[in-house]
Structure 1
Amino acid sequence: MRHWPPEQQIHNGKYIIEAILGGGGFGVTYRAQNLKESKAVAIKTLNANVQGKPNFREYQTKFVNEALSLAKCSHPHVVQVYEVFPETVENIELWCMVMELIDGTNLAEYLEDNGILSEAKALPIIQQVGSALSFVHKQGFTHLDVKPQNIMIRTPPSPPLVRGGVRENTPFSSSPLNKGGQGGAVLIDFGLARQVTAPGKLRTNSNSGAECYAPIELLEKRAELGAYTDVYSLAATLYVMLTGELPFPSQFRKQNIPLTPPKQHNSKISDRVNAAIVKGMELEPQNRPQSVQKWLDLLIPKPASPETTPMISAVGMDYINLRDLLAAGKWKEADEETKRVMLKVAGREKEGWLDKESIEKFPCEDLRTIDQLWVKYSKGRFGFSVQKRIYQSLGGTSSHDSEVWEKFCDQVGWRHGPGMWPLYKWLTFSEKEAPEAHLPVFFKVGSDYGGWGLGSNAFFSRVETCRL
């Protein structure tokens, strides 16, 4: 059967075909209108090439079974399936899957238009896709075709009109990567027929570089595919998001061509993220994390809960008061308590500030405890790890860069204009009103300004070493 032309009506006139949205080695997806509900939808079927294969029924059975399973999935980052139905075409029963039509752009096109992403922008997308994969894995099936082309970035709705007919502009409000306003990532186009592909064949759009996202077990059609298969592809997707480079295909790596660590392409990638990507892209499946969540935990370690955070550290510091202040939302008092305990741990109470040596020797356990308490009680808005993520996303490294430091101070709200010093009196001790990463403050001396945390490069270097 040739592809349906525009104006073709199917399913007893319920849908009318408008155009072909795209296709690959197995399927073709159409834009269509649901005439009964006046709503645009996407409809996917097996394409004309597959329909002519002698094992078409095998493809069709796989397509139907997994389409029905996907239709039962309800997750904010998985494309929604409305219904599955058969359509008789030239004496062939062709099954169709009707899905939501997502308003947005796919991640591949977004990267092509905007270039590589910072960790601060890339990791939330990966977390969203990872949560979607974890969900479908629990339903008993795998995606098998994770790549930027199959990740849609929703376009959030425009800000509401305000007085005078002018739209209210907020930071990043026009970005499709903004999670607010129902933006975010959606996983689409599951590889529903992939498991009946001939060994060594990966039939996809030749321009997509899909083989660079496929693990060795998928290319060799090994008997065992699982969550670790999608782990590889998700890690490879992050590789491309942060570097703009396609990793060597797994079949080449099997010939002793090593994977180039992503940090060699982009020195701004943190050691933690670099290591997580390399681990997720281990050539042999058994060497990778066996679930997406385990891989995400390597990528973005979970902060410990107050129940597991040690309140008395190995050096004898008591963090119960800091915990209680944070739990009560007393942000200013908690900030002062943070300074007090850090100076006491470092033995620098008399000096009132931390020098380079004391920062480099600051116990990781204590630094981690302080950070975990701030992250927990601010719901992820405050903490040293949050500050480090933003600092690195702006290009900050272990070497001092005054321009990056000024940008960081501006973004976290520590100063009120170019050329100004950060002043303690300008701080906002409110979880709702303060910018992300505004607290705790490590720059102050007394009640004015200075550097009780010495400098951003030295401090964040220790935060990185302690793997916060």
Structure 2
Amino acid sequence: MLQPGQYLKQRPHFVVEAEIGGGGFGVTFKAKHRDLNFPVVIKTPNSRLQKDANYPKYVKGFRKEGRILAEITQNHHPNIVRIIDFFEEDNLPCLVMDFVKGENLYNLIQEKGILSEKVAIDYITQIAQALSICHQQGIIHRDAHPGNMILRANSNTVVLIDFGLAGNVNSQSINQNGNLAFAPWEQMLETEKLPTLDIYTLAASLFYLVTGDTPISSLARKMTNRALIEPKELTSRISEKLNYAIIKGLELEPQNRPQTMQEWVSLFPGVGDDEVELKSDVGMDYRKLRDLLKAGRWKEADKETERVMLAVANREKEGWLDVEHIDNFPCADLRTIDQLWVKYSNGKFGFSVQKRIYQGYGGTREYNEEIWRQFGDTVGWREGGSWLYYSDVTYDIKAPEGHLPNTPLLNSRCYGVVFMNCFVWGCLPSRRDL
């Protein structure tokens, strides 16, 4: 391990000043460039790892991810700490980063109190956008809690620091727990790390910024069935939309959370508040559907959805859609319908919401009875092991996530799941009573 006062043989212009942080993956030190007199941070693997059988693999991952982060930050991304050097000191990998002067958000809340909704959203959105770039490069932060978010001095810019580099390497020597108040339960498992891990941690961080408290740990919720206390129960001034965004990010099971940072951020107040562009490849007018959804008239909106979809597919006479017409349904129209439902339900209803839930159970285009039943149970189309009749649909925002739209467009021969072959938004058929 590096020691305070140590001059580095491989980089003699650096002198180690003090250890400033440590975790399951690595230890960080503050150091100084002796000639230029500017501070840096040096991160090394945790000493416990050096005796681990997987240590060579860890070093390889540490170096690889450090290189990727260096590429991401070479243009000085404002919200990710910049990587400036990499070397090995007596076989100890050393990653050199900028020293960010400022205060971390955890201490900021402790000292000055909770943030306004607007400021908290601004800070978390900055970090979410930075993480989105990292996710595209295959890097999961694994520890994006307020203690690792620095509000740069004399600015409103938040910088994400201390990546849990090479955390995907399975090792008994690595403490997988991290900060339990902000960590999803699956982080403790030796499984592939996904963006949903960072989404949970950011949602817990946003919870903390606006309430001054931390959510009940995911492990306690998982093991003892403790219920999540919603942020609005702690701070009544939080808007319904922000409250919903936080609890969606804190969903216990990763498949029930938004799957990307963009999807999660779209739930924030003020994000996506612009009107949905009513695009159509066939000239369909979606203003009535928009107005019904905007007014929360869910049953009428469900009927209007059925009407416009039949009209777009030129199937008014038949009154249902078959596989051919689903597969060839115009993409622009499908997206418009979906975006309207998602927007005016605050992300609770819509074809894309249904698709996410269905795929979370491993669903594909091929019909699987067990998966279809699980999906039906989750979205509230089944009760007590039996499918509901269409007349029993719940037309209320309090209905289960993905419950709407539920218009019976499909012929009984197509009661499985069919996705659009030309667009990323999924179209799940509503169940037709058989």
Task: Please tell me whether the aligned partners of residues 52 and 171 of structure 2 are also in contact (alpha carbons under 8 angstroms).
Answer: no
Aligned ranges 1:90-109 → 2 under 5 Å: 93-109=91-107
Deviation larger for 64-73 or 29-38? 29-38
**Matched residue pairs, number?**
287
Aligned ranges 1:259-298 → 2 under 5 Å: 259-298=228-267
Query: Deviations for 1:379-425, whole angstroms, at most 9, x for unmatched residues?
Result: xxxxxxxxxxxxxxxxxxxxxxxxxxxxxxxxxxxxxxxxxxxxxxx
CA distance in 2, matches of 1:83, 1:233: 28
Query: Deviations for 1:445-466, whole angstroms, at most 9, x for unmatched residues?
Result: xxxxxxxxxxxxxxxxxxxxxx
Deviation at 1:313, TM superposition (A): 9.8
Query: Deviations for 1:158-184, whole angstroms, at most 9, x for unmatched residues?
Result: xxxxxxxxxxxxxxxxxx5x3xxxxx1
CA distance in 2, matches of 1:143, 1:294: 18
Q: TM-score, normalised by structure 1?
A: 0.56
Q: Name the SS for the 1:112 alignment partner.
A: helix
Q: Does 1:188 align with 2:161?
A: yes
Task: Please tell me whether the aligned partners of residues 107 and 151 of structure 1 are also in contact (alpha carbons under 8 angstroms).
Answer: yes
Deviation at 1:199, TM superposition (A): 7.6
Q: TM-score, normalised by structure 2?
A: 0.60
Task: Please tell me whether the aligned partners of residues 202 and 211 of structure 1 are also in contact (alpha carbons under 8 angstroms).
Answer: no
1:76 aligned partner: 78
CA distance in 1, matches of 2:171, 2:262: 30
Aligned ranges 1:47-446 → 2 under 5 Å: 47-74=46-73, 75-88=77-90, 93-156=91-154, 178=156, 184-198=157-171, 202-203=175-176, 210-221=179-190, 223-255=191-223, 256-300=225-269, 301-304=271-274
Task: Please tell me whether the aligned partners of residues 149 and 161 of structure 2 are also in contact (alpha carbons under 8 angstroms).
Answer: yes
Judged with a 3 Å threshold, the aligned counterparts in structure 2 of structure 1 residues 273 and 309 are, in CA distance, closer, same or farther, namely farther
Task: Please tell me whether the aligned partners of residues 13 and 34 of structure 2 are also in contact (alpha carbons under 8 angstroms).
Answer: yes
1:386 aligned partner: none
Q: Name the SS for the 1:153 alignment partner.
A: strand
Q: For residue 64 of structure 1, what is the amino acid of its counterpart?
A: R
Q: Name the SS for the 1:77 alignment partner.
A: coil
CA distance in 2, matches of 1:9, 1:96: 10
CA distance in 2, matches of 1:299, 1:199: 38
Q: For residue 153 of structure 1, what is the amino acid of its counterpart?
A: L
Deviation at 1:364, TM superposition (A): 8.4
Q: Name the SS for the 2:266 alignment partner.
A: helix
- Percent identity reads 38
Q: For residue 192 of structure 1, what is the amino acid of its counterpart?
A: L
Task: Please tell me whether the aligned partners of residues 10 and 16 of structure 1 are also in contact (alpha carbons under 8 angstroms).
Answer: no
Deviation at 1:7, TM superposition (A): 4.2
User: What CA RMSD, in Å, does the superposition of the two structures yield over aligned residues?
Assistant: 3.1
Q: For residue 227 of structure 2, what is the amino acid of its counterpart?
A: P
Judged with a 3 Å threshold, the aligned counterparts in structure 2 of structure 1 residues 307 and 265 are, in CA distance, closer, same or farther, namely closer
Deviation at 1:204, TM superposition (A): 6.4
CA distance in 1, matches of 2:110, 2:257: 29
Deviation larger for 253-262 or 29-38? 29-38
CA distance in 1, matches of 2:187, 2:11: 39
Task: Please tell me whether the aligned partners of residues 183 and 201 of structure 2 are also in contact (alpha carbons under 8 angstroms).
Answer: yes
Task: Please tell me whether the aligned partners of residues 231 and 238 of structure 2 are also in contact (alpha carbons under 8 angstroms).
Answer: yes
Q: For residue 302 of structure 1, what is the amino acid of its counterpart?
A: G
Query: Deviations for 1:230-264, whole angstroms, at most 9, x for unmatched residues?
Result: 11111011011111222122121113112111111
Structure 1: segments with no counterpart, 5+ residues = 157-175, 179-183, 316-361, 366-468
Deviation at 1:109, TM superposition (A): 1.0
Q: Name the SS for the 1:65 alignment partner.
A: helix
CA distance in 2, matches of 1:302, 1:58: 43
